[in-house]
C-alpha cells in the first residue's frame, strides 16, 4: 500500500511540474526551409536577391481543438503596414505540432527594410508572439 501511495505522489508531482499552458516555441524566419517546411535556423537578415519566399515556422503546444490562430505579416518602414494575414483553426488538441506560413515575393521585388510577422491565438491570457527581420 505504501508503494502505491509513493507512486501516486510521484506521478502527481510530475504532472504538476509539467507546463501544460498553450505555447508557441521555436519561432523562426527563413527563405530556405527543410523538406518538412520548418526553418532549420532563424534568419534576422534575408538577402533580397536570394529570397523568392519568406517562411515563418513555429511549434505550437497544448492548444485546444478549434482554436483560431492568425499569422500576420507587416512591412515596418514608414510605419506599420499590414501586408497579409491568414487565420487557421486547430484540428485537435495540439502538442508539439509544427505550423508555418509564407509570403511570396511581390512582382516588383521585395521592398528593402524591416518586416515583422506575428502569431496570435484566440485564447484568454495568451500574448501574441512576433519576430522581426529585414530584407537587404
**Successive 10-residue mean pLDDT values, the chain, 136 residues:** 47 49 89 89 95 94 87 97 93 76 95 96 89 97
- Scan for cell 530584407, then name that residue: 135
pLDDT at res. 95: 67
Fold assignment, 20-135: Immunoglobulin-like (2.60.40)
Residues contacting 6, CB < 8 A, separation 6+:
none
Helix or strand (DSSP H, E) at 27: strand 23-30
The DSSP-derived string for 55-107 is EEEEEEESBPTT-EEEEEEEE-TTS-EEEEEEEEE-SS-BSSEEEEEEEEPPT
- Residue 61: predicted pLDDT: 86
User: pTM of the predicted model, to two decimals?
Assistant: 0.81
Q: Nearest Cα to 123, choosing from 64, 81, 74, 78? A: 64
C-alpha cell at 7: 507512486
What is the Cα–Cα distance from 60 to 95, expressed in whole angstroms? Answer: 7
Distance CA(53)–CA(48), nearest Å, equals 10
Amino acid at each position: 500500500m505504501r508503494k502505491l501511495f509513493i507512486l501516486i505522489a510521484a506521478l502527481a508531482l510530475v504532472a504538476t511540474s509539467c507546463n501544460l499552458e498553450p505555447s508557441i516555441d521555436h519561432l523562426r524566419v527563413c527563405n530556405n526551409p527543410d523538406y518538412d517546411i520548418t526553418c532549420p535556423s532563424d534568419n534576422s537578415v534575408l538577402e533580397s536577391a536570394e529570397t523568392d519566399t519568406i517562411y515563418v515556422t513555429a511549434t505550437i503546444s497544448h492548444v485546444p481543438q478549434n482554436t483560431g490562430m492568425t499569422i500576420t505579416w507587416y512591412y515596418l518602414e514608414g510605419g506599420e503596414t499590414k501586408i497579409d494575414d491568414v487565420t487557421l483553426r486547430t484540428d485537435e488538441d495540439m502538442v508539439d505540432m509544427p505550423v508555418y506560413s509564407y509570403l511570396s515575393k511581390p512582382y516588383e521585388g521585395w521592398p528593402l527594410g524591416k518586416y515583422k510577422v506575428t502569431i496570435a491565438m484566440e485564447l484568454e491570457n495568451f500574448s501574441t508572439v512576433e519576430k522581426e527581420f529585414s530584407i537587404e
